[in-house]
Amino acid sequence: MSQSDVRLRGIQKSYGKVHVIHGVDLDIEPGEFTVFVGPSGCGKTTLLRMIAGLEEISGGTLTIGGESVNDLPPSDRGVAMVFQSYALYPHKTVFDNMAFALKIAKVPKEEIAKRVNAAAEILQLGEYLQRLPKALSGGQRQRVAIGRAIVRNPKVFLFDEPLSNLDAALRTKMRVELATLHRSLGATMIYVTHDQVEAMTLADKIVVLNKGRVEQVGRPLDLYNKPASLFVAGFIGSPQMNFITGDFAAQRGATTVGLRPENLRVQAGGPLQGTLRHSEKLGNETFAYVNAGAMGEITARMEGTLPLEPGNTIELAFAPEHLYRFNADGKSI
């Protein structure tokens, strides 16, 4: 499998007078799994589609494998994209869906059969090759869509929320399969998702986008442990980090402090006091939603169960090293 780097320099996108991407610089190394995350409308899909060649680039340069591709059509960029909707041909069999792009490219028949069979083996689709897409499950259809990308032996794989149409159990299974696929192919992959767990578990590198700009780039655990800003701290991690302002923050030399739900514990006399509003008991863990008066609403995650009822007083403590501090500009201190 070929591996290519992807480099973005000052990439911009405008639709008429509306600027949606404001000069993105980004380096994606050969073989790297890069995930774009950010709130709805931040420009993840637009950026991916510009790399694919499906959206014109309004400014800046894009290179793939060292070659400027700004003016190349999608088919000449050596990229293969997998869509959320799968976009399979309904009247073609699984084999023909996977073979189609190769037929168009006039690849010899034997070579097509070899590549389709190899991809089908990797994706465990061998027994379905003569079926039509309508006779497949959602997960199998998504595997065909991925197979269609694999047979083209692209320099770069692009994924646009590929698992979001699948139910929770299948998502988990496909997530593990994608990670395994990346390891076995060693290909460069760029992936857009809304899903925290997908971003944290699949990525070598996460790119957090905010209103058409790169907010922070880093390895998943670096973003989790050392978010550069309030924005990233609030975006990476689920449930979301608690933010507290006012005196509690000021005493700690910040305008806002952050505490992750998993870093809070019940402790008599703890510095965070409130009333338990609701608790969610999942068996192995419990989420406590606490009304902490002037400090606002605080979420705590506890191992096991919590022997408290709504309306009870709850006191929470944390270790000092788990406190995140932010200044008035929202930057980490």
Ligand X SMILES: Nc1ncnc2c1ncn2[C@@H]1O[C@H](COP(=O)(O)OP(=O)(O)OP(=O)(O)O)[C@@H](O)[C@H]1O
Contact residues for ligand X, defined by CB under 6 A: 15, 18, 20, 38, 40-46, 194
User: At its nearest, how many Å lie between ligand X and the CB of residue 62?
Assistant: 16
- Quick check: helix, strand or coil at residue 165? coil
> Which lies closer to ligand X via its Cβ, residue 38 or residue 220?
38
* Alpha-helix runs per DSSP H in the chain: 44-52, 94-104, 109-122, 138-150, 168-185, 196-202, 220-225, 230-235, 247-250
Tally Cβ neighbours within 10 Å of residue 41: 12
User: At its nearest, how many Å lie between ligand X and the CB of residue 5?
Assistant: 23
Are the CB atoms for 93 and 131 separated by under 8 Å? yes
Tokens of 24: 């993105």
* Spatial separation of the C-alpha atoms in residues 302 and 266, rounded to whole Å: 8
For residue 191, which of 47, 40, 42 has the smallest C-alpha distance?
47
> Which lies closer to ligand X via its Cβ, residue 13 or residue 77?
13
> Which lies closer to ligand X via its Cβ, residue 21 or residue 120?
21
User: At its nearest, how many Å lie between ligand X and the CB of residue 313?
Assistant: 40
> Which lies closer to ligand X via its Cβ, residue 79 or residue 150?
79
User: At its nearest, how many Å lie between ligand X and the CB of residue 160?
Assistant: 8
User: At its nearest, how many Å lie between ligand X and the CB of residue 145?
Assistant: 18
For residue 97, which of 156, 154, 145, 143 has the smallest C-alpha distance?
145
Q: Cα dist. 205→18, 132, 199, 216, 236 in Å?
A: 29, 36, 9, 10, 13
> Which lies closer to ligand X via its Cβ, residue 41 or residue 126?
41
DSSP track, 31-45: T-EEEEE-STTSSHH
> Which lies closer to ligand X via its Cβ, residue 114 or residue 194?
194
> Which lies closer to ligand X via its Cβ, residue 30 or residue 74?
74
* Spatial separation of the C-alpha atoms in residues 289 and 301, rounded to whole Å: 9
77 strand-pairing partners:
none
For residue 60, which of 15, 12, 17 has the smallest C-alpha distance?
12
User: At its nearest, how many Å lie between ligand X and the CB of residue 46?
Assistant: 3
> Which lies closer to ligand X via its Cβ, residue 41 or residue 246?
41
Q: Which residues of 238-277 are buried (b: 16+ CB within 10 A; e: fewer)?
A: eeebbbbeeebbeeeebbbbbbbbbbbebeeeeebebebe
Environment class of residue 148 by beta-carbon count within 10 Å: exposed (0-12), middle (13-18) or buried (19+)?
Answer: buried
User: At its nearest, how many Å lie between ligand X and the CB of residue 228?
Assistant: 20
User: At its nearest, how many Å lie between ligand X and the CB of residue 56?
Assistant: 11
